[in-house]
Amino acid sequence: MATEMQLFTLASLLRRGKALDRLSNAVTLLGLAIGLAPLLGVAAQPLATLFCGLLVLLGLVEKYWALRVALDAELFQRLADDAEHLALHTADLDQALTRLGLRSANLEARSWDERSRGALRLLRLQALWLLVQLLLAVAILLGLPWLSITG
């Protein structure tokens, strides 16, 4: 059974996903601005527009994982705030997730260690998608001069 401090620590760690999401938002907006620059009279570069579209798409994928991480952060915080009744809250949480269609009804109950590992896995996936997005953004920014020469 998870302790109050474990739940609180995990919730705190998961809230770091919000900073990752803000960085992704900035990169996504940068991609959108570069991709839409031709609307402002800048010469259109089809390859740059394609890369910027990919950048925005990666930002949307990261946003999906960020939403999942944020939900887990709030749930773990709620559970940490009343850890004395964790067993009761666990059953309530599983029922609520099932009723909302966020959990299959025929899944067996998971331990809090498994749930914690799953939540951290979501945070790592969010960070991975942000990393891919950042790498593409750097490649675009470094490649723009060459794209304008060849495009």
Token pair for 24:
């992704």
Mark out the alpha helices in the chain (DSSP H runs): 4-14, 17-36, 46-81, 86-99, 112-150
Q: What pLDDT does 148 receive? A: 62
Residue that wins the pLDDT comparison between 141 and 112:
112
pLDDT band at 1 (very low <50, low <70, confident <90, very high): low
pTM score, whole prediction: 0.87
Residue that wins the pLDDT comparison between 105 and 62:
62
CB 54 within 8 A of CB 136: yes
Angle at 76 between CA 74 and CA 81, to 5 degrees: 95
* pLDDT tens per residue, range 22-42: 999 999 998 998 888 888 887
CB 47 within 8 A of CB 33: no
Q: Is the pLDDT at 107 greater than 70, yes or no?
A: yes
Q: Give the span between the Cα atoms of 43 and 143, in whole angstroms.
A: 16
* pLDDT tens per residue, range 79-93: 989 888 888 888 888
